[in-house]
Amino acid sequence: MANNRRDFLKLTGLLGTGIATGASLNAFAEDGKGSDEQAAGPGPKQFFKPGPKQLFNMSGYAAPKLDTVRIGFVGLGNRGGAAVPRVNHIDGVSIKALCDIRPERAQLAKDSLKGSGHDPVLYSGKEEAWKQLCERDDIDLVYIATPWALHTPIAVHALTHGKHVAVEVPSAKTLEECWQLVEASEKNKRHCVILENCCYDFFELLTLNLARQGYFGEIVHGAGGYLHDIAKSFFNKDARYDFWRLRENAHRNGNLYPTHGLGPVCQIMNINRGDRMDYLVSVSSNDFTLGEMEKEAAAKDKDFQQFAGSHFRGNMNTSTIRTLHGRTILLQHDVSSPRPYSRIHQISGTKAIAVKYPEPGRIATGPEGWLSEAAMKDLEAKYTLPVVTRMGEMAKQIGGHGGMDFLMDWRLIDCLRNGLPVDHDVYDAAAWSSIAPLSEWSVAHRSATIDVPDFTRGAWQNNRPVDLSIDHGNLTPVK
């Protein structure tokens, strides 16, 4: 076929995230509907064709060393505002610029750096002030923590202007945006790193090393999720700029936030590095809570009346993914039911199983029961990764979700300063984020099967995992 990938997608109706049946994922994102009429017609599996050959394989790519990593932050709300003082604890960085639509947030972030020696330029007050930051010639890394809809546009603009990118989760909202990230990263040979902090939590890293040392045997199944009761925050006018997360939940129905549970499981299964996600099915419950909360909020505050009649996301979404080598992944999402926090994190193999929630993490090697506390301590002593041994206590002191945020930031800076391959590349950002729009399509089509695109275009067969156990001898210090 002579047409390139986008031409093919146009011909088959898949451009953006449209589907050849004539139903568009982007349309579902707007109206939140998924009727039986939309589900009619053949499934989309046969319409996913391989794209053109890679422009450049970013998996395992080591960019030139940077003695000092010059950073610009875009988005200074909850995540970005916490990241700035965290990164300030890492040597070998220079915070050059701070950007937020709200001038007060940009100034607050700058104030957190007083006495540090950093004197960042502020960009604020304009919708696209971030473009000026991305176009500066004295920035190496753009750190993006904006509302979801801006993740890909900012990342692509930064990559196009020669910057490495660290982008919050999910990195993209549509399949087309996933491909945009891949192509921009490959074309410009710049890293696009997904800021999946849960990959750096301590039990997740322990199970990663246990898996790589063969403790679980062959990995058979993994489970992850984002089960977090944050519904009240959607209606808190001070929590998120312009109700952006409420808007996401008011017009989309699927697993909207897949990567916290999925990322650690994919890392353990070597997804994109020896195996890949093949296809998924997804089902959502009805909405039993958000609609009623919206009515109550609108009765008290007219600002919420704009959400009247919204088709809110179902409380529980359950998606099941099968990999090409026959492993399965169970992924769940529920942010509007009363429950304790859980990411599940279950790893099941032919020799052992690990489960994290309810905490603390537990491991078993058979039906006799979970390992004792003493046996768990022995495992931790033997299999804790060097990066945790070296940096774990410091990470806990500096903080960020118990230390995993700081460990994530430090590891990224250390890789850039030492010219090392990053732990999670653009193919991970695309594949993990793609589960959201794919799940939306499946839910809208009565849980029909849909393929997960191969963003590596076949390179997954030869790509190899990054070895976190290697000590490169030039560790980035912390303050």
In order, the DSSP letters of 235-266 are T-TTTSGGGHHHHHHHH--S-S--HHHHHHHH
* Rounded CA separation 387/405 (Å): 14
CA distance 215 to 221: 14
Question: Rounded CA gap, 131 and 160, in Å?
Answer: 11
- pLDDT for residue 51: 60
Structure tokens, 402? 């118990």
Q: Tokens standing for 155?
A: 């990342």
Q: Where in the chain is the domain with CATH 3.40.50.720?
A: 69-194
Measured N-to-C along each axis, helices 290-300 and 244-251 cross at an angle, to the nearest 10 degrees, of 130
Of 364, 463, 438, 472, the closest CA to residue 173 belongs to 438
Q: How far apart are CA 66 and CA 73, in angstroms?
A: 18
Report the C-alpha gap between 345 and 260 in whole angstroms: 10
> Is the separation of the CB atoms in 209 and 386 below 8 Å?
no
Closest CA to 93 of 339, 416, 358: 416
Per-residue pLDDT 10s for the chain (479 aa) are: 333 444 434 433 344 443 333 333 433 333 333 333 333 333 444 334 456 689 999 999 999 999 999 999 999 999 999 999 999 999 999 999 999 999 999 999 999 999 999 999 999 999 999 999 999 999 999 999 999 999 999 999 999 999 999 999 999 999 999 999 999 999 999 999 999 999 999 999 999 999 999 999 999 999 999 999 999 999 999 999 999 999 999 999 999 999 999 999 999 999 999 999 999 999 999 999 999 999 999 999 999 999 999 999 999 999 999 999 999 999 999 999 999 999 999 999 999 999 999 999 999 999 999 999 999 999 999 999 999 999 999 999 999 999 999 999 999 999 999 999 999 999 999 999 999 999 999 999 999 999 999 999 999 999 999 998 876 778 999 98
Predicted TM-score (pTM) of this structure: 0.92
Q: To which residue do tokens 């994102």 refer?
A: 29
Question: Under the phi-then-psi rule, with left for phi > 0, alpha for psi from -120 to 50, and beta for the rest, what region is 432?
Answer: alpha
Q: Start-end ranges of CATH 3.30.360.10 in the chain?
A: 198-461
How long a stretch of residues is the chain?
A: 479
Name the 3-class secondary structure at 293: helix
d(CA 225, CA 318): 9
pLDDT at 470: 74
What gap in Å lies between CA 371 and CA 377, rounded to an integer? 10
User: Are the CB atoms for 151 and 172 separated by under 8 Å?
Assistant: yes
Dihedrals phi, psi of 324, to nearest 5 degrees: -65, -30
CATH architecture of 69-194: 3-Layer(aba) Sandwich (3.40)
Residue whose pair of structure tokens reads 């549509």 in the numeric block = 174
- Contact residues for 425 (Cβ-Cβ < 8 A; gap 6+): 58, 59, 61, 185, 191, 192, 193, 272
CB 197 within 8 A of CB 171: no
- Residue 26 is predicted with a pLDDT of 38
Burial state string for 218-250 with b = 16 or more CB within 10 A and e = fewer than 16: ebeebbbbbbbeebeebbeeebbbebbbbbbbb
Work out the burial of residue 101: count CB atoms within 10 Å of its CB; fewer than 13 is exposed, 13-18 middle, 19 or more buried. Answer: buried
Contact status, residue 98 vs residue 75, Cβ threshold 8 Å: no
Supply the pLDDT for residue 50.
53
Q: How many helices (H) and strands (E) does the chain have?
A: 17, 14
pLDDT value of position 474: 85
Q: Which architecture does CATH list for 198-461?
A: 2-Layer Sandwich (3.30)
Contact of 71 with 94, CB cutoff 8 Å: yes
Round to whole Å and give the CA distance between 136 and 462: 36
